[in-house]
Every structure is written in C-alpha cells, then in structure tokens.
C-alpha cells in the first residue's frame, strides 16, 4: 500500500513537471514572436520569460524547459524569433543569434540556482542577483558567438550589447517584480 502511494506521488510529480516544462516552452515560443526589430539580433520578450523561468522554476526545471525549447528549434519547429520564413533547425543555432540562445539555457540554470539559494532569506536582493547573473549568462556566449561574425571590437558591443541593455534592464526589473508578487501565490506553491 505504501509503495503504491509513493509511486502515485512520483507519477503525479513527474506529470506536473512535464506539464510545467511544456507550458514553459510554449511561453518561450510565443515570446519569441513578440519582436522589436534590431540588427543583427532581434529584441524579443524571451529574455523576460527565461528570467522568470529561472526565478519561478529553479535551475533543474527551468534548464529542462529551455533545453526542450532549443531541441524543438533544432528539429525545425518555428519556435525561434524570425521563424518562419527565416531558416529554422540547426542552421538557425549556427547563425548570429545562436550564442544568445545557448545563453538562455545558461541563464535559466544560473538564475534558477541563485534564486533558489537566496530568495528564501533575501527575496528582493536574491531576485535581483538572480536576474543580474542570468542576464550576464545570456550575454557571455551571445557576444562570444556574435563576435565570430562581426569581429571582436567595438562593433561587436555596438551591435550585440549596447542596443539591448536598457530593454534588458527593464525586462529584469519586470521579472523581479513578478517574482515578488507571485512567489508565494497558490499557483506557485502547486508547481514547486
């Protein structure tokens, strides 16, 4: 009897995790389509969603969500910004924005880890440090990869960093506010 109850809880927990991951990939795909045109890297609301995934889901489930999202894109599903009609599949990840997409995975894990460690004792500063470290985790591989296309000079920062800092600061602030509002909500307690 006890073994069956334990298995049922495990199955329910797994089903909940799978549902949360699927919902997260849908949010990422939708957020990729909300685009503010810039060159060479489009600005989307994906950063906001990735930061929120890390804050709310923790490193494992947020990382799994972004990994599944990247896999969907690798398989050619039109989940990335600009797809369709732009190239989809592996070629998209090899394009100028590929490093930022890899950065999303790092961001989800890093921001989730920091939030998990700090948000219980210091929720405001913990959330701030989580989104700051997550944002840095996006820019590091993003700029490194974009530099292979543009060169590693001022042009790289002018194209891949400076135009996005104010928008990313705004998105990070929104993610922190959302976390502070919803972290103790009934829904969040159910998905933890």
CA distance 105 to 91: 18
pLDDT in tens, 32-48: 998 777 656 567 899 99
Distance of CA 23 to the CA centre of its chain: 13
How would CATH label the architecture of 2-191? Orthogonal Bundle (1.10)
Query: Is residue 87 classed as helix, strand or coil in its secondary structure?
Result: coil
Q: Helix, strand, coil proportions of the chain in percent (round to 5)? A: 75, 0, 20
Domain ranges of the chain: 2-191
Under the banding of pLDDT at 50, 70 and 90, the label for residue 7 is confident
pLDDT in tens, 111-130: 999 999 987 777 888 999 99
Nearest alpha-carbon partner for 100 in 154, 156, 17: 156
- Whole-model pTM? 0.89
CA distance 173 to 124: 11
Q: Both tokens of residue 122?
A: 């210091």
Phi-psi region of 89 (alpha: psi -120 to 50; beta: other; left: phi over 0): left
Neighbours of 135 (CB within 10 A): 24
């Amino acid at each position: 009897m006890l073994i069956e109850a334990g298995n049922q809880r495990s199955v329910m927990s797994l089903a909940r995790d799978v549902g949360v991951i699927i919902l997260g990939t849908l949010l990422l795909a939708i957020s990729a389509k909300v685009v503010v045109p810039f060159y060479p890297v489009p600005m989307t609301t994906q950063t906001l969603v990735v930061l929120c995934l890390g804050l709310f889901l923790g490193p494992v489930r947020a990382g799994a969500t972004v990994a599944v999202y990247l896999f969907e894109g690798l398989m050619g599903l039109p989940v990335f910004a600009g797809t369709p009609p732009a190239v989809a599949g592996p070629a998209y990840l090899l394009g100028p924005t590929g490093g930022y997409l890899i950065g999303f995975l790092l961001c989800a894990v890093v921001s989730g880890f920091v939030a998990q460690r700090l948000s219980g004792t210091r929720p405001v500063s913990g959330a701030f440090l989580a989104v700051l470290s997550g944002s840095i985790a996006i820019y590091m591989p993003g700029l490194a990869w974009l530099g292979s296309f543009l060169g590693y000079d001022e042009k790289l920062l002018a194209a891949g960093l400076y135009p996005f800092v104010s928008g990313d600061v705004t998105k990070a602030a929104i993610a922190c506010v959302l976390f502070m509002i919803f972290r103790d909500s009934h829904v969040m307690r159910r998905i933890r």
